[in-house]
Amino acid sequence: MNSVSVLAAPEIHAPPVEFSQLAPMLIVFGAAIVGVLAEAFVARPARYAVQFPLALVGLAAAFCWTLWLGFSEKPQHAAADGAVAVDGPTLFIQGTILVLAMLSLLLIAERAQDAFTAQAAALPGSEAEQESMADGGIQTEIFPLTLFAVGGMMLFPAANDLLTMFVGLEVMSLPLYLLCGLARRRRLLSQEAAVKYFLLGAFSSAFFLYGTALLYGYAGSVRLSAISAALSRSGGSETLLLAGVALLSVGLLFKIGAVPFHPWKPDVYQGAPTPITALMASCTVVAAVGAALRVFYVAFETLRWDWRPMMWGVAILTMMVGAIVAITQTDIKRMLAYSSIAHGGFLLTGIVATSESGLSATLFYLAAYGFTTVGAFAIVTMVRDTTGEAGHLGRWAGLGRRSPVIAGIFAFFLLAFAGIPLTSGFTGKFAVFQAAADGGAVPLVIVGVLSSAIAAFFYVRVIVVMFFSEPEPDAPSVVTTATTATAVALGLTATVVLGVLPQPMLDLAGQAATQLFVR
Amino acid sequence: MTAQEIVFLLLGVVTVGSAVLVVTTRRLVHAALWLVVSFGALAGSYLVLTAEFVAWAQVLIYVGAVVVLLLFGVMLTEAPIGRSDALDSGNRWAALAIATATAGVLVTVVVRGFKDAYLPPRPGGGTAGVIGSSVFRGWVLPLEVLSLLLLATLVGAIVLSRTDVVREPSDDHDDHDDHGDPADHGDHDGQGRGDA
């Protein structure tokens, strides 16, 4: 931070910046900048060997610092002159994002089955592309870009005012738009995904910004606590307030992928390199839901009779559309994308609850769902044939006979998505639905259970395809490598532990939630 | 009506009029130039409202950088410079309807939201000094993070556009070879550094 030299000027007083409490974020950004420098000064063959450990160590150090903050200092504080709120939920969400990012990084760093193109600028199908493929290189810029995105994801849910939140949103999204376009196979699909995500994402950012502007017009401040205070004074213009809330919600719901702002999700999840899809499906969802929690719990809590009906509608639509459309999918990544949309709906029921138990249940759900998702996408990267990943569901036929262990683990992840008891998915759904029911949203819970049942249908269908049909003669094989296997193992462990022994994690989420949000 | 309000109104008319011309003209280059007028008039409106810094940023970034970028885009892609009918999209009526509806909603919200609230412009309220001290006091952290966003964007632009990543295929190396000849390497790394 070069703020120090600027602050030396006489008439500007130094704002208090609590570096120790912001350290997890600063470590991640610092590692990203060192990565950019490594990109410039390290010889090409040595770059991968530098970038991967650097990124991993950066994330691990940030995670350790987050743990230390959580267990020793118990901060309850708005840092950096009120721009960033460091409180229980923030630390829980940041810790979750960091662990999930480490798992995704293991997939991103996989070299044996390169998911990333060697040269993004080469035209798909051109000679230059074939040359770069044969060259065996890899664009190691993906590591700093990933770290930038993770840093943005940590800022997004921690932001204490809408402007900082917008900055976090952009820092999180821009590297992701780029990373989406770097898939090695099916380049055109990947580039289409990147452009689509970029255009729609820019559009939704504009909504977010316009909502911020209108709320500034209402409250005279973009700080969440000031908006809340303006609400309890109940002066000002209703029109500005309601229009602002609506536009801001569009921006947030887009990032969560809630219906009707979901159409980007299947296309982008399908086109992006699978490790990046894993990163988006886990960390981005955690960050976006975290930000939505903070906005609706801190700024608009007193307004909840106005936004709850809207949230009800969106949650019901999201759960039902996600579950029903998933049935018709034949591509495994698209199916998981619709499943992710449905899970976004379950998470929204936790937001609707607007209570301490709703908050802790949502936090637990985020952690549980993130681990399972990364594990599931890790297995998608492992099942390969000559053209790369075997995306079509039909190609997965008989996988259970050829590689029973991998098929078994994948089946377990699917059961966790469906919410079968003894998996983390069950505990998460139970906690969220209980909180929503306590909050008076019983019809919402009924719709949630119904859509869980519909969703279970297509999860079980995949399991049936894997175990009870004959494999094709040229069926894809399972390529296991150390890093991917580690990611799968960790995802599996978390899914089992959070299902069988959820209490420690529930306590942790509960503890984080008792502090509630600082204002 | 004060002189200030009249000037503001006139600038507004120029902004909207030239914006309409941007989308209706049949010459691509003219559209870019009308955009200059529109952005310039908007900068003038900011000045009238005493938002000096925003006005100059508008001139520098939009009139300067963005329009120049557009013109370069037109030149480099060999787009038709003269009159061309292909500029009309088949969706233009739908687009017009949506644009009118959006404008209607936004104008209604602002008009109903602020009603007759009036804040007299304060001379010197939007100078670089005032904005600078606010940005570097209360908004230091977001500002610094924004610089990271720029860095990430730069790196990304290089990733998407660099074509010299591949070494020249030499006769003596096998297809899956991570370690090419060192001389070739140094050369490309040098270029990489120049880009970054």
* Residues 70-129 (A) with a CB less than 8 A from some CB of B: 80-84, 118-122, 128
Q: Taking CA atoms, what residue in B is nearest to A3? A: B140
**Boundary of a domain, candidates B76, B92, B123:** B123
Both B97 and B10 in one domain: the answer is yes
For A203-253, write each residue's pLDDT tens digit. Answer: 999 999 999 999 998 888 999 989 999 888 876 778 889 999 999 999 999
Same domain, B23 and B82: yes
Average pLDDT over residues B83-88: 76
Do B70 and B139 belong to one domain? no
Is B152 within 8 Å of A174 when comparing Cβ atoms? yes
Chain B residues whose CB is inside 8 A of the A167 CB are 142, 145-146, 149
Of B169, B179, B193, the CB nearest to A131: B169
Could you report how far apart the first and last alpha carbons of chain A are, in Å? 25
> What are the tokens at B117?
């609230």
User: What residues in A contact B145, CB-CB < 8 Å?
Assistant: 29, 151-152, 155, 164, 167-168, 171
Check whether residue B10 and residue B102 sit in a common domain: yes
Token pair of A239 as six digits: 């029109």
Residues of A in contact with B192 (CB under 8 A): 39-40
- pLDDT for residue A7: 47
Interface of A with B in 13-42 (CB under 8 A): 13, 15, 17, 22, 29, 32-33, 36, 39-41
Q: pLDDT class for B185, splitting at 50, 70, 90?
A: very low
Cβ within 8 Å, pair A7-B165: no
Domain check: are B114 and B189 in the same one? no
Judge whether A226 is closer than 8 Å to chain B, CB to CB. Answer: no
| Among candidates B136, B161, B179 on the partner chain, residue whose Cβ is nearest the Cβ of A121 | B161
CB neighbourhood size of A283 (10 A): 28
SS3 breakdown of chain B: % helix, strand, coil, rounded to 5? Answer: 70, 0, 30
Mutation site, A33, A167, A195, interface B, largest B CB count within 10 A: A167
A185-216 exposure pattern, b = at least 16 Cβ within 10 A, e = fewer: bbbebbbbbbebbbebbeebbebbbbbbbbbb
Q: How many CB pairs under 8 A join A and B?
A: 163
User: Phi/psi of residue B193, each to 5°?
Assistant: -65, -40
Structurally, chain B folds into a number of domains equal to: 2
Judge if B82 and B138 occupy the same domain.
no
Is the Cβ pair A132, B189 closer than 8 Å?
A: no
Provide the 3-class DSSP secondary structure of residue B27: strand
Residues of chain A positioned with their CB less than 8 A from the CB of B185: 43-45
Contact criterion met (CB < 8 Å) for B144 and A81: no
Interface contact flag, A29 B156, Cβ < 8 Å: no
Burial of residue B150 (CB within 10 Å: 0-12, 13-18, 19+) is exposed
User: How far, in Å, CA of A447 to CA of A318, rounded?
Assistant: 11
> Is residue A418 classed exposed, middle or buried when 0-12, 13-18 and 19+ CB atoms within 10 A define those classes?
buried
Q: Is A163 on the interface with B (CB under 8 A)?
A: yes
Hey, is A383 helix, strand or coil? Answer: strand
A13 to chain B: nearest residue by CA? Answer: B137
Asked if A331 and A392 count as a contact pair (C-beta separation under 8 A), the reply is yes
Cα-to-chain-centroid distance, residue B123: 28
Decide if A11 touches B, using CB distance below 8 A: yes
Which residue has tokens 């109940």? A234
Q: If you search the block for the tokens 């709120």, which residue do you land on?
A: A85
Contact (CB<8Å) A135/B155: no
Which among B141, B161, B188 has CB closest to A83?
A: B141
pLDDT for residue A12? 59
A44 touches chain B (CB under 8 A): yes
The answer on pLDDT for B129 being more than 50 is yes
Mutate to test the interface with A, among B102, B110, B118, B141 (most CBs of A within 10 A): B141
Nearest to B160 among A33, A83, A178 (CB): A178
CA distance B194 to chain A (A): 9
Using 50, 70 and 90 to split pLDDT, how confident is the model at B173? Answer: very low
Contact A119 B162 (CB under 8 A): yes
The pLDDT tens digits for B146-160 are: 999 999 999 999 888
Chain B CB contacts of A191 below 8 Å: none
Nearest CB to B114 within list A164, A170, A217: A217
Distance CA B53, CA A134 (A): 52
Which of B80, B101, B123 is at the close of a domain?
Answer: B123
Residue B132, token pair as written in the block: 């600078």
Domain final residue, candidates B89, B106, B123: B123
Whether residue B102 sits in one domain with residue B14: yes
A11 and B133 in contact by Cβ < 8 A? yes
ipTM of the complex, rounded to two decimals: 0.87
pLDDT level of residue B135 (50, 70, 90 thresholds): confident
A46 Cβ under 8 Å from any chain B Cβ? no
The pLDDT assigned to A376 comes to: 95
Together in a domain, B106 and B160: no
pLDDT given at position A113 = 67
The residue of chain A with its CA nearest to that of B187 is A43
Asked whether residue B174 carries a pLDDT value surpassing 50, the answer given is no
Q: Are residues B185 and B153 in the same domain?
A: yes
pLDDT score of B165: 61
CB contact under 8 A, A168 and B153: no
Residue of A1, A136, A217 lying closest to B144 (CB–CB): A1
Instruction: Verify that B118 and B30 share a domain, yes or no.
Output: yes
Q: What is the DSSP string of A123-163?
A: PTTSHHHHHHHHHT---TTHHHHHHHHHHHHHHGGGBSBHH
- Choose from A27, A141, A174 for mutation: most chain B CBs within 10 A: A141
Residue A73 pLDDT = 65
Q: According to the model, what pLDDT value does residue B177 have? A: 41
Return the pLDDT at B186: 38
A432, A367 Cβ separation under 8 angstroms: no
Residues of B in contact with A237 (CB under 8 A): 112-115
Domain housing B183? 127-196
Q: Which residues of chain A have pLDDT under 70?
A: 1-13, 73-75, 112-113, 136-137, 235, 515-516, 518-519
CB contact under 8 A, A237 and B112: yes
| pLDDT of amino acid A305 | 85
Both tokens of A1, joined, read: 């931070």
Is B175 within 8 Å of A182 when comparing Cβ atoms?
A: no
Of B115, B155, B178, the CB nearest to A36: B155
Question: Does residue B49 share a domain with residue B19?
Answer: yes
Are residues B175 and B146 part of one domain? yes
Interface mutation target, options A11, A25, A44, A218, chain B, most CBs of B under 10 Å:
A44
CB contact under 8 A, A39 and B192: yes
Enumerate the residues of chain A whose CB falls inside 8 A of the CB of residue B112. Answer: 237, 239
